Amino acid sequence: MRQPGGYILVRDYAVGDLAQERLTSKDQKISENFFARGDGTRAYYFSEENLVSLFADQGLTCKAVSVHCRQVQNRARALVMNRRWIQGEFHLPIDGELNVQEQLAALELKKQPEVDSSILTEQNEVEEIDLSEGIAMSLFATTSTIEVDNKG
């Protein structure tokens, strides 16, 4: 049921994730950013514009969307694993909505460069530390969150 004034929070795979790169190299692509895994399940990798458009088509406005990047390194195997997730906050307005073009234009105006964080590990250990939001803000004086002004 669509509840005016309600919110939807989303976290899913983002374009450029390590798993997407692996599926691309194995020729398991069904369509753009849509893949079949070896176990028969499907995976879709969202871009910021794609996610905003998907919800805007249903009448929801984008309050914020961000891509969280983590780089995990295993020195023993000389592997660097780039993991990417997208998060979004969407709202069903009570008194109207912006159209898709207005939301995408606002998103482009507010887009900030992404901050990748490198995680170094011991020989056979892989550690993962989330440097998104609060920690990234204090370390790099920036955040990867894109705020969208929906007041018109």
Domain membership of residue 19 (yes or no) is yes
Domain membership of residue 152 (yes or no) is no
Domain membership of residue 1 (yes or no) is no
Report the mean per-residue pLDDT for the chain.
75
Q: Is 40 helix (H, G, I), strand (E, B) or coil?
A: coil
First to last CA, the chain: 26
Provide the domain limits for residue 55: 7-147
Domain membership of residue 86 (yes or no) is yes
Domain membership of residue 109 (yes or no) is yes
User: How many domains, the chain?
Assistant: 1
Q: What is the pLDDT of residues 54-113, one digit of tens each?
A: 999 988 999 999 999 999 898 999 888 889 999 999 998 886 545 455 566 666 656 655
Domain membership of residue 28 (yes or no) is yes
Helix axes 100-110, 48-56, angle to 10 degrees: 150
Domain membership of residue 78 (yes or no) is yes
Domain membership of residue 2 (yes or no) is no
pLDDT at 3: 78
